[in-house]
A = this chain, B = another copy of it.
Amino acid sequence: MPADRLSLIFSALADPTRRAILARLSEGEATVNELAEPFDISLPAISRHLKVLENAGLISRSRNAQWRSSKLEAGPLREATEWMEKYKRFWDASFIRLDAHLRKIQNDPEDPGAKQ
């Protein structure tokens, strides 16, 4: 049971339809029907995707007459990015080269540059 925020965020992002909805919302607010238009799935399905996004805090919703407008809220994306950035040093090539260099100059036996 993913009660924690990050799990909610990541699992909301794990669905391609939901990511497409977010992409659409990055161009501006939209109603449920507008959001549903590009997809080949039913309106209730879209409605539930929106609920998932809302529960994750990725969108907020407002009512205007019978239309419910969705708006992108990027705070959770920032949260998720911050979590990932703890790992940035593992994909930063310059870090890796620096690391290899430091190991080399101190003759570290685990020097990954010493691969056979």
In the assembled complex, the CB of A24 is this many whole angstroms from the nearest CB of chain B, namely 12
Give the number of chain A interface residues (Cβ < 8 Å).
30
CB of B15 within 8 A of CB of A13, answer: no
CB of B77 within 8 A of CB of A84, answer: yes
CB of B2 within 8 A of CB of A7, answer: no
| Bound CA–CA A7/B15 (angstroms) | 6
- A16 neighbours in B (Cβ, 8 Å): 2, 4, 6-7
Q: A48 at the A/B interface (Cβ < 8 Å)?
A: no
Q: Which of A's residues lie within 8 Å of B, judged by CB?
A: 2, 4, 6-7, 10-11, 13-16, 19, 22-23, 26, 72-75, 77-78, 80-81, 83-88, 90-91
